[in-house]
Amino acid sequence: MNDDRPVLLEKRGTCLHLTLNRPRALNALSHTMVRLLDEALSRAEQDESIASVLLSGAGDRGLCAGGDIRALHDDARASGRASLEFWRDEYRLNARIARFPKPYVALMDGIVMGGGVGVSAHSGIRVVTERSRVAMPETAIGFVPDVGGTRLLATAPGELGTHLALTGRSVGAADAVLCGLADHHIPARLLPALTEALGEPAGQDPSVAGIVQRFATEPPAGEIAAQRDWIDGCYAADSVEEILRRLRESGVPAAEAAADEFLTKSPLALKVTLAAVRRAARLDSLEAVLDQEFRVSSRAFEHPDFVEGVRARIIDKDNAPQWKPGSLAEVDDQEVARFFAPLGPGEQELGLAPGPTRTPVDGGQAG
């Protein structure tokens, strides 16, 4: 008999195994799932019989494809506010995972996108496989990377994170490790054995990290390490327009392909995303970044590009979104800055960082 609970909890030895259990929806996160995960981690933190936590996804397609986009879309169309409460709890969960005091192992097998990155890439031990595809693809739906993703991308080597943030491209195991989104590669066929080993009583190597390391192998060759020259050169620019110009003039086919991708994204989302990544690099904690992302998400949720992007990419699948504004030139600096301004009367800040979130001052079109 199938278990239809959205999050499965199983204690194996001293390991608490959490399974995201919506395989038909690629384990997309609902508000209920976020609350269940948070409650489970809160209890595990206090339970002395639990020494570690393991997170995986049901099925063989992926850990988690992100938040429940259709639910967010419907809420936005109805001018609702439920999505803001979902993000409030989700971002708090992301912070809890990052500060969790016991070993937290995330199996980032298959598709890991958006909210899936949030529940895995902030953990202490992050495992990818040859099937992993990791991405923050928000600009394609008129949204901006969140769940702490702007901090992860801002700390990637060189400008790799800027490249991934703006294009929304997915990366495989080797590139995920290179970008600091994962730690170890383990072949997918060995995940059941790893899960069993983590649940066994401590043997010769009692450390969770040591157990994971025993299964780790070199990942298949990645792609972006060899592209660092043009990525770092082009994406170091201070505006989306200048990045686009450099990509076009680089003479590198891969760079020109990236430029073509820009033209399919929301112009406003591109500019806000660049500003968000740059600002995240100057904030001093994940909590401060999540506070900033909550402001940005709140404003993006109100903007018509989000509803239009989800319609075009997810619902109607015509891949012909009508963005507003329709070009980079029409997006002014004041509109970008509005996304980072303190929330207005009747709106509650996330408030994870002590004191008010500092908003770095940018010049030019990056902020």
User: Which positions are annotated as active-site residues?
Assistant: 67, 115, 138, 146
CA atoms of 235 and 247, how far apart (whole Å): 8
The angle at the Cα of 48, spanning 43 to 52, to the nearest 5 degrees, equals: 75
Contact 159, 134 (CB under 8 A): no
**In what helix (H) or strand (E) does residue 45 lie, and over which residues does it extend?**
helix 31-46
> What DSSP line would sit under 204-270, residue for residue?
S---HHHHHHHH-BPPPP-SGGGGHHHHHHHHTSSSHHHHHHHHHHS--HHHHHHHHHHTTS-HHHH
Contact 125, 97 (CB under 8 A): no
Terminal C-alpha separation, the chain = 53
CA atoms of 354 and 157, how far apart (whole Å): 28
* CA–centroid distance for 124 within its chain: 16
For 215, the token pair is 């299964």
CA atoms of 168 and 234, how far apart (whole Å): 16
Written as one letter, the residue type at 351 is: G
- The sign of the CA dihedral 293, 298, 303, 306 is positive
- How many other C-beta atoms lie within 10 A of the C-beta of residue 11? 13
* C-alpha atoms less than 13 angstroms from C-alpha of 3 in its C-beta half-sphere: 11
